Chain A
Amino acid sequence: MLSPDLTLDTVPKLLLRNARALAGRPAIRHKDLGIWQTWTWRETLDQVRAFSIGLAELGLKRGDRFAVIGGNRPRLYWAICAGQALGAVPVPVYADAVAEEMAYVLAHAEVTLAVVQDQEQVDKIAAVANRLSHLARVVYDEPRGLKDYDHGRLIAFEEVQRTGREKLASDGECLRRWEDGIAAGKDSDLSIILYTSGTTGRSKGVMLTHQNTIISARNANAFDHLEQDEEVIAYLPLAWVGDYMLSYVQSYAAGYCVNCPETPETVVQDRREIGTTYALAPPRVYENLLTLIMVRMADAGALKRKLFDFFLSVANRWGEKILDGERVPLTARLLYGLGNFLIYGPLKNQFGLSRIRVGYTAGEAIGPEIFRFYRALGLNLKQLYGQTEASVYVTAQPDDEVDAETVGKPSPGVEVQISEKGEVLYRSPGVFVGYYKDPDRTAEVLTTDGWVHSGDAGFFDPKTGQLKIIDRVKDVGRLKDGTLFAPKYIENKLKFYPNIREAVAIGAGRDFVCAMVNIDLTAVGSWAERNNVVYGSYQELAGHPLVYDMIAQHIDEVNRSLAEEEVMAGAQIRRFLVLHKELDPDDGELTRTQKIRRGHIVDRYSPLVEALYNGSTQAQITTEITFDDGHKGTIAARITIRDINSYPAPAPKLERAA
């Protein structure tokens, strides 16, 4: 195990240490041309150093900002470190951001250089280049398609490294100067600026220092005993703080290996080949995986399906208890063991989860049913509550205190309190230093004594002593008659159904609750195939009466479960519709981290919302959509609205005499 040397207070310093202490151990892998290519820590240093010196030759210097745009590639992680070694500040940008969004971030951060993955990103930058007066150079990783481009500002990654290597070879002082530059880095230097896809308004550049991220990384590594033999797979956006911590800072701090998948589509196969041991993912990833499992099982033969159903019920009954080390009857243990041999083991293996020691879900509340499903299979899935402003970690669940409804206890070094309004406030060494060039909004969120307003409503659950998040403070509302309405709570219940990909609950300030639903094309498409439902497009499938029947049935079940809870019983869904298009970040309907932007959706689909509340059974809508390349088009549809039964609230329980 590496000793936690506290003088190593920047990531480049950690790299120098790893190249010495872990020289031949794997640092990063990338599946390329069908084969896993590995770079050791020593080789990583070599790559980073050459690129870093090359960047210096291009004019990148201390204090400059530079953009990193693309997928999870070793070279882009190296670029981050190479820039940091010079004292420059990386600004990762979501690779799927449209040119407009990208222009805003690049201009706001005044980046002087961009390291991008491929032609797609080069094109996007070219499209908005006239607005980026600071941007002098664009470095690209993949040359494909760029041959005919004007190379005035463009330069290949290899070319930069070659310049660096030549400089190293010709100038004897170069190496010493580079290492001196690293030594001159301080823990108070900015480590990164992460632009958060805020649910409202322009995105904000969260500034994190090396101190913020390294202390948080060390604490997180210690909390889950992460050491150099962990394997993680990097497939979440580079611009997400979770990926920056997990695939970069924590890896450099603990010395574990990060694996970059071949393509975003091959993650499941790649994960299976690697057998990752640690994971952090938003609930959506687990939801998608569950959908995939359920769809595959629905296609399986009758015997397999029967076995699956039977052992799943065994797992639901006993799995979590066994995982938590509770006492269970011997027969249950035997049955579970058999299930593990026949179903759970192979299932976990199929999805590359056999070696998982710790898996976290974070970013948004996870449906309790989804959460329990994984735990029932014996996966140590835990909840974590984090924010970009906190270098991720605010609260996390210790191994033996896992609960589906809560998000854990304050992480090491973090203080948490609840404001009078019910908002969660926290303070920690990981807390950011401010939003870049935005002191006003910084002041709104960060108090002078270091507390951060999270914007989330929550409370400490008296039963478990853990934090429970209900919703965003501004989203928790009430119906006209004063009934509590927590939209996310209802949406999560809907989203547990594999057929429902996304749901939007509306009701604040209104007479009753309505829902707009997105079907999941994978699940519903497969259902349609099995049931001979013919459709020509997503839109046609979404509007199919049989699909409506199916969704109505799901909503009916949700209402039934809402009716069982006293507080929520008044917020049952009365009317619903199925949307004709998938909610999409390009249209501003989801954030880049796939959270729904309810306010924007309600505005955008106002004719539908109106129809939901004025009793019509049909509504006409025309929506503008943005294609992946930024072009715009419109899509029109006539959408059916259905009423749905609600259930009476339970009679208040009589206190039973003792």
Chain B
Amino acid sequence: MKGSSTRDVDLGTVLLAVENVSLAFGGVQALTNVSFDIREGEIRAIIGPNGAGKTSMLNVVNGFYQPNSGRIIFKGEPRTAMRPYAAAQGGIARTFQNLALFRGMTVLDNVMAGRALKMRRGFFWQLIRHGPALKEEVEHRRGVEEIIDFLEIAAIRKIQVGKLPYGLQKRVELGRALAMEPDLLLLDEPMAGMNLEEKEDMSRFILDVNREYGTTIALIEHDMGVVMDLSDRVVVLDYGQKIADATPDEVKCDKNVIRAYLGEPHGTSA
């Protein structure tokens, strides 16, 4: 009854292209002349050993860092300098390696915060919470509830985020990013610190987001099993340089990748 188990990679048009990007902090060269692209509808993994520049790469993509050279082309429009706010408005959402939630607020409010960009009514209307502002809030609440339902966090809707276990907080953060209805979702180590069961859950959510909402996803991950299962294409960084860019199966056998991870070309596992 189930469709074929291998995923048909239907590569869409290029959503985001990174062209010859270099980034340095003082004397430290974080990224050197990196180029790759992210196509519409795919799950793109960025992997590499510790300190390879993965998070720096994401920070460049969502405008948090400005590359020293090179450019980013998002939806066909090149850009050099961009603020995270503008990136978010343009449809790029992200989660963080170390959670960045509002710990004192409820799950519902945290996810609702992800809709802030979409709120059109001004401060005054929001303040009195009547008329058009109320109507707008109701609409957004519906969208948020759909995400809560999707991520199966209804039971914790009214609980303060700070009181939740780590795995659930990660899920809430994903919810907040989804609330933006992004075109491109950047996930920075979505499975870090999770146990096996939580990882399986999160993997399923990531796949479901990709398939149900059609969201393009770029993720950084250390768990090779997860990367191999989830992603359509993998780009591998080492010391700030791209050393491979291929499908998971090809990357697994790539000599450069094995050397980067193990130092010696002994095996294929990470």
Chain A residues engaging chain B, CB cutoff 8 angstroms: 32-35, 122-123, 125-126, 129, 138, 144-145, 147-150, 152-154, 262-263, 265-266, 269
Residues in B whose Cβ lies below 8 Å from that of A263: 152, 154-155
B223 interface residue (CB < 8 Å to A): no
Instruction: Give the shortest distance, in Å, between B6 (CB) and chain A (any CB).
Output: 12
* Contact across chains for A144 and B1 when beta carbons are under 8 A apart: no
A-B contact count (CB 8 A): 50
Residues in B whose Cβ lies below 8 Å from that of A145: 208, 211-212
Chain B residues engaging chain A, CB cutoff 8 angstroms: 1-3, 141-142, 145-146, 148-150, 152, 154-155, 157-158, 208, 211-212
Residues in A whose Cβ lies below 8 Å from that of B148: 33-34
* Contact across chains for A265 and B155 when beta carbons are under 8 A apart: yes
Chain A residue, CB-CB nearest to B147: A33
- 30 contacts across the A-B interface (CB closer than 8 A): A32-B149, A33-B148, A33-B149, A34-B145, A34-B154, A35-B145, A122-B1, A123-B2, A125-B1, A126-B1, A129-B1, A138-B1, A144-B208, A144-B212, A145-B211, A145-B212, A147-B211, A148-B2, A148-B211, A149-B1, A149-B3, A150-B3, A152-B1, A153-B1, A154-B1, A262-B154, A262-B155, A263-B155, A265-B154, A269-B158
Residues in B whose Cβ lies below 8 Å from that of A149: 1-3
In addition to A32-B149, A144-B150, 6 A-B residue pairs with Cβ atoms within 8 Å of each other are A33-B142, A33-B145, A34-B154, A122-B1, A153-B1, A266-B155
Chain B residue, CB-CB nearest to A32: B149
Chain A residue, CB-CB nearest to B207: A145
Instruction: Give the shortest distance, in Å, between B249 (CB) and chain A (any CB).
Output: 21
- Name, among A34, A35, A152, the residue most crowded by chain B CB atoms within 10 Å (CB to CB): A34
Residues in B whose Cβ lies below 8 Å from that of A152: 1
* Contact across chains for B1 and A33 when beta carbons are under 8 A apart: no
Residues in A whose Cβ lies below 8 Å from that of B212: 144-145, 147
Chain B residue, CB-CB nearest to A537: B195
Instruction: Give the shortest distance, in Å, between B8 (CB) and chain A (any CB).
Output: 9
Instruction: Give the shortest distance, in Å, between A566 (CB) and chain B (any CB).
Output: 48
Residues in A whose Cβ lies below 8 Å from that of B141: 34
Instruction: Give the shortest distance, in Å, between A260 (CB) and chain B (any CB).
Output: 13
**How far apart sit A138 and B141, CA to CA, in the bound complex (Å)?**
33
- Name, among B146, B148, B149, B154, the residue most crowded by chain A CB atoms within 10 Å (CB to CB): B154
Instruction: Give the shortest distance, in Å, between A429 (CB) and chain B (any CB).
Output: 41
Residues in A whose Cβ lies below 8 Å from that of B3: 148-150
Instruction: Give the shortest distance, in Å, between A216 (CB) and chain B (any CB).
Output: 34
Instruction: Give the shortest distance, in Å, between B264 (CB) and chain A (any CB).
Output: 32
Instruction: Give the shortest distance, in Å, between A300 (CB) and chain B (any CB).
Output: 16
**How far apart sit A269 and B212, CA to CA, in the bound complex (Å)?**
29
**How far apart sit A126 and B1, CA to CA, in the bound complex (Å)?**
6
* Contact across chains for A150 and B208 when beta carbons are under 8 A apart: no
Instruction: Give the shortest distance, in Å, between A266 (CB) and chain B (any CB).
Output: 5
**How far apart sit A461 and B154, CA to CA, in the bound complex (Å)?**
47
**How far apart sit A265 and B159, CA to CA, in the bound complex (Å)?**
13
* Contact across chains for B1 and A150 when beta carbons are under 8 A apart: yes
Instruction: Give the shortest distance, in Å, between A380 (CB) and chain B (any CB).
Output: 29
**How far apart sit A93 and B208, CA to CA, in the bound complex (Å)?**
27
Residues in A whose Cβ lies below 8 Å from that of B155: 262-263, 265-266, 269
Chain A residue, CB-CB nearest to B142: A33
Residues in B whose Cβ lies below 8 Å from that of A150: 1-3
The 3 closest A-B pairs by CB, nearest first: A265-B155, A33-B145, A126-B1
**How far apart sit A147 and B8, CA to CA, in the bound complex (Å)?**
14
**How far apart sit A557 and B3, CA to CA, in the bound complex (Å)?**
58
Residues in B whose Cβ lies below 8 Å from that of A265: 154-155
Instruction: Give the shortest distance, in Å, between B100 (CB) and chain A (any CB).
Output: 25
Chain B residue, CB-CB nearest to A34: B145
Residues in A whose Cβ lies below 8 Å from that of B149: 32-33
**How far apart sit A154 and B1, CA to CA, in the bound complex (Å)?**
8
Chain A residue, CB-CB nearest to B208: A145
Q: Of A34, A147, A153, which one neighbours B157 at CB under 8 angstroms?
A: A34
Chain A residue, CB-CB nearest to B149: A33
* Contact across chains for A33 and B146 when beta carbons are under 8 A apart: yes
**How far apart sit A427 and B211, CA to CA, in the bound complex (Å)?**
56
Instruction: Give the shortest distance, in Å, between B54 (CB) and chain A (any CB).
Output: 29
